[in-house]
Structure 1
Amino acid sequence: MKKWFAVMGDPIEHSKSPAMHNAWFREKSIDATYIPVHVSSESLESAVAGLKTLGASGWNVTIPHKTAIIPYLDELDELAEKMGAVNTVVRTKEGTLKGYNTDGVGFVRSLEEAVGKSHKDKPVLLIGAGGAARGIAFAMQQQGYENLTIANRTVANAQAIVDEMGTGQAISLTEAEATLADFGILVQMTSAGLATGNFSMPFSLDRLTKGAIVADIVYNPLMTPFLQAAEEKGATIVTGLGMFVHQGAIAFEYWLGESPNTNSMIAQLKAQLGGY
């Protein structure tokens, strides 16, 4: 029987996940399809039940459901449980739903693919404290990036992640802007800059140090306002495309036990998104 997969979120029209996974299915001659599903926060519980009832083999979870979906799953992978966020759901052979988080590992793979592994001693500023931020914070800590600071509009949310990690510090966006020169790596982890949203900035990058590494997890558009401003200040830019492809590849492996071609997919999507 043909397998089918999905991505749920709000908004969802910007997602390139269907194009990516369907291309991988074709490349590997897998009889499967992948569709986008718009799910509002009020409809999340019924959407999960519907996907399960209709026989989805698995799905991805994007903004704003990565933490909210957890009560509707049967079990969590150890890392997803630690992060408190899920971006991949697998329907097991027993028919239960198991949640994983591939965001963080996907981001670290993308970052190190772009700039190498020699920057782990640099102070890191993580901007945002949502589901993706939790995943990236824990994954960076796990991979040896120990000097982590999380900045968020609501400092208590950032502090909650710091407390769970057992290291790092939480600051406000205003404090982050004032101390920007202290950081060698910046990671923009909010939804600011999505092609479907307002092109907003969390704060000014006037104090950014030339040569700093600046990453954004938004991949559509490739060059967000945040990355454009950072490039103008002489930063090394890492777009969100690599993270997007790598987290998707890890999800693909969980679902089907096979590894897709990430290099060709990054090139294909870069061309579709205007290149950089």
Structure 2
Amino acid sequence: MIKAAGVMGFPISHSLSPRLHGYWIKKYGLEATYVAWEVPPERLAAKLKNLPDLLGENGELFRGTNLTIPLKEKALEIVDIVEEDARAIGAINTVVVEGDGLLIGRNTDGIGFIDSLAEKIDVADFKGKTALVLGAGGAAKAIVFALIKMGFAKILITNRTRTRAEELADHLTDGTEVLDWDERESVLSQVSLVVNTTSLGMKGQPALEMSLQGLKAGAVVTDIVYTPLKTGLLLEAEKNGFVAVDGLGMLLHQAKAGFEAWFGVRPEVDADLREFVLQGLADK
């Protein structure tokens, strides 16, 4: 039987997931399909619980779904089993339908972040170092969790609303420390990795006002924003000789584990895929 998966969100028209997974389905010659559903939060439970019995127009058997804003946290209460990483992060971005119909909730954002960095650098070099995380939203939770797994000794968290940074630090306590937003530049001499998880610098949003003067030599700067691909932060990082990692890699790499679970193939992230997805981004 043809296998199927999809992505649920509200709204969903902006999602690049159908283009991304569609590319892999074609590349690997699979009898499979991937669709997008616009699902309001109040309908999520019914949609997820229906997945094991859902058939597509051509008899496809649905193997699972991705979840995007604003459904990631709500899904924790709905799936049958929540894997350890998703429980620790407090959000699910991937649901897998097991053969017995059980719904397994996963979060692959953290490993997607790590694999994106690994394209440019040896992430083992970060062990025992200090990271600075800008922002304290849902993406920041997954990234801080990933930084803990990578072995950072200290993770500095700052957010425009300090209480949200404190809540994140309390949720993931290992080596975290909260700074006021206006202290973000004062600690750069300690920092080996800067991560922007805010929307600042995104197309249509205010710029991220931050100088990288004083950043530790050999540091890496990354931004989860990918519209534009090179944000002001990344352009400044490159100008000052730092390694800059864009946000598209995280999007591509976080998708690998779900695709493998649904369709039985471990896909590759390569330059052709990046170019294909970027073209879809330009068309939106």
TM-score by length of 2: 0.83
CA distance in structure 1 between the partners assigned to 2:281 and 2:218 by the alignment: 25
* 1:142 aligned onto 2:126: no
Larger Rg belongs to? 2
Name the counterpart of 1:28: 28
Amino acid in structure 1 at the alignment position of 2:264: G
CA distance in structure 2 between the partners assigned to 1:8 and 1:194 by the alignment: 23
- Kept in 1: contact 2:199–2:205 (CA 8 A): no
Amino acid in structure 2 at the alignment position of 1:166: D
SS at match of 1:262: coil
Instruction: Give how far 1:257 is off.
Output: 3.1
* Comparing 177-186 and 88-97, the one that deviates more: 177-186
Name the counterpart of 1:69: 75
Structure 1: unaligned runs, 5 residues or longer: none
How do 1:34-53 and structure 2 match up within 5 A?
A: 34-49=34-49
CA distance in structure 1 between the partners assigned to 2:192 and 2:137 by the alignment: 22
Amino acid in structure 2 at the alignment position of 1:116: D
Equivalent residue for 1:176, pick from 162, 179, 184: 184
Name the counterpart of 2:104: 98
Instruction: Give how far 1:81 is off.
Output: 1.1
CA distance in structure 2 between the partners assigned to 1:61 and 1:110 by the alignment: 20
Instruction: Give how far 1:104 is off.
Output: 0.5
Structure 2: unaligned runs, 5 residues or longer: 56-61
Say what the alpha-carbon RMSD is for the aligned residues. Answer: 2.7
Name the counterpart of 2:54: 54
Amino acid in structure 2 at the alignment position of 1:170: V
Note closer, same or farther for the CA distance 1:8–1:230 as it changes in structure 2 (3 Å cut): farther
TM-score by length of 1: 0.85
CA distance in structure 2 between the partners assigned to 1:243 and 1:20 by the alignment: 13
Instruction: Give how far 1:41 is off.
Output: 4.3
CA distance in structure 1 between the partners assigned to 2:269 and 2:82 by the alignment: 26
CA distance in structure 2 between the partners assigned to 1:138 and 1:58 by the alignment: 24
CA distance in structure 2 between the partners assigned to 1:38 and 1:194 by the alignment: 23
SS at match of 1:134: helix
- Kept in 1: contact 2:148–2:174 (CA 8 A): no
Note closer, same or farther for the CA distance 1:147–1:5 as it changes in structure 2 (3 Å cut): same
CA distance in structure 1 between the partners assigned to 2:240 and 2:41 by the alignment: 38
Name the counterpart of 1:190: 198
* 1:262 aligned onto 2:269: yes
Percent identity, aligned pairs only? Answer: 37
